[in-house]
Structure formats: C-alpha cells, structure tokens
Chains A and B, each alone.
Chain A
Amino acid sequence: MESLNTQVIVLNFELKGSDFEAAGEASSKIKLVLQQIGIRSDVIRRIAISAYEAEMNVIIHAYRGKMKAEIFSDHTKITLKDEGPGISDIKLAMQEGYSTAPDYIREMGFGAGMGLPNMVRCTDKFDIESSVGIGTTISMTVCHNPLTIVGQ
C-alpha cells in the first residue's frame, strides 16, 4: 500500500460504497503519515478534512472508488476516482446546502450539502469532473507551507 522514495510518498486506497464501518479510514491513514513526516498541524487539518469529505462522498453517493494521496515535500495531492451515478449539474452540487443524500445519511449527521464547498475552502487547488452514469473524479492540492505556490 505504501511506496516510499525520496521524492514522494504515495498511498492508495480502495473505497466501497455504503461501507460506513470503514468510512474515514483512508483519510485517517493519510493524516498519520503527514504527522509522521512533521507537516504543520493546521495544514494537516485542512488536508484531513478535505480528504474525509471526499472519501465520505464516495461512500455515500457512489458504488466504489479509488483514493490516492501523493505527498511531496512541499504539497500533498489527493485524487479520488469513483464509479457511480456521477453529477449532472456540478455548479448546483457545489452550492452550499445542495444535497441529494437520503434521510438515513442525515440521521448519521451528514447530507447537509456542505462537503464540496468545504473541500474548496480547505484546499489550494480543487478540480472536479463527472460523467452521468459513469462516475466522478476529484483532485485536490494543499501546499504544506501556505506561502509556497505550487505548479501543476
């Protein structure tokens, strides 16, 4: 699962839709690695929260997905690619308060339509692509030193 060289640490995870038992485990492991390499705690928090929001979205809204964290010395990039219903209107989905989550998700404390806007808020770069009936891909980058500007 973990491959390590001097350039980058790569972590790969498989996510299963509706697996609420495991939901959050991938983000939790990413957080642990970031702590071990001594990234600033406020930066880790932003990475952990955005990763968890994205991970929960796959668990809640999609069938299955892959999550990848690439930890470079000056930034972390997290990519999630899922197989699922996709999002027909991304602009609408990005609005605070928009949610299609069913009642049992709300009873769990999620489904307020805050996840995507929160990912944008927590990250320095956020991209989303989606095809209806196929799936959704999200990629997020957070700089480790908020003064650094990251290239592509």
Chain B
Amino acid sequence: MKLEEVGRILEADLLCGEDLLLREVVTVCGSDLLSDVLAFTIQETLLLTALINMQVIRTADLSDLIGIVFVNGKRPGTDLIAMAQQKRIPLFVTRLPMYEACGRLYQYGLKGCI
C-alpha cells in the first residue's frame, strides 16, 4: 500500500513530504517508546506515535522509517517539521487514537514488524 492511501484511510492531514507519497508501506509499528522502535522495527516501516519531540525524527532517520503518522491529533512544532523535510521523512497527523488508527491499517492488510 502506498503512503497516500494510508493518509486517506486514516483521514490524515499531510504535514510534509508531498513528493514521497508513492513510497510503498510494507510494515507498520504503533509505539510511543522510541527504544522499542529502534529495537524492533525493520527497514521502511511506517511509525504511528503520539510522541512529537525531535527524537522521533532522529529515530526515524537513523532507523530508515518510511514515514510517521502522529495520532490523537498531535501536531508537532515547525522545527520538527523542518527537520523531517530535510531528512525526507513524510509526516501525517490524524485525529484517530492509536488503537483505531492501527486497527484500520491492519484491516487493510498491513502487518506489524514480526
């Protein structure tokens, strides 16, 4: 599934990365623990999280995540968005809470990193 379809399913706003929406999502991870993201994700995973600090972008960059969806309507600051743009990491924000957002993507056939 492409990132643009993820955005539609989650009724999400795109914060940056318009030119990267044709990236293919293979696996998804829903987590507010960056320690776990670093330990358990595989290359090109999409991250769903409620964390909106700079370390999320660092983590995404260093572990080659394919994009980030902020759940619960959490909107990051402009400095975070600027860094994501520079690192070419697409960002979405959805009003859906974590469980609902993960559930919808799972229903469409996207699996976790196991």
Smallest CB separation, A36 vs chain B (Å)? 15
Q: How far is the CA of A86 from the CA of B51 in the complex (A)?
A: 29
Q: Which of A61-69, A106-114, A143-151 has 4 or more CB atoms under 8 Å from chain B? A: A106-114
B39 pairs with A110, CB closer than 8 A? no
B51 pairs with A114, CB closer than 8 A? no
A125 at the interface (CB under 8 A from B): no
A20 pairs with B54, CB closer than 8 A? yes
Q: How far is the CA of A20 from the CA of B79 in the complex (A)?
A: 14
Interface range, A side: 20 to 34
B36 pairs with A24, CB closer than 8 A? no
Smallest CB separation, B86 vs chain A (Å)? 10
Given contacts A49-B63, A114-B39, contact A109 B58 (CB under 8 A): no
A45 pairs with B63, CB closer than 8 A? yes
Residues of A near B63 (CB, < 8 A) are 45, 48-49
Q: Could you list 29 examples of A-B contacts with CB < 8 Å? A: A20-B55, A21-B54, A23-B58, A28-B61, A31-B61, A41-B64, A42-B43, A45-B43, A48-B62, A48-B64, A49-B38, A52-B38, A52-B58, A108-B34, A108-B53, A109-B32, A109-B33, A109-B37, A109-B51, A110-B34, A110-B35, A111-B35, A112-B33, A114-B35, A114-B36, A114-B39, A115-B35, A118-B35, A118-B39
Interface range, B side: 20 to 34
> Which residues between 50 and 80 of chain B lie within 8 Å of chain A, taking CB atoms?
51, 53-56, 58-59, 61-64
B55 pairs with A24, CB closer than 8 A? yes
Smallest CB separation, A67 vs chain B (Å)? 14
The chain B residue with its CB closest to the CB of A59 is B55
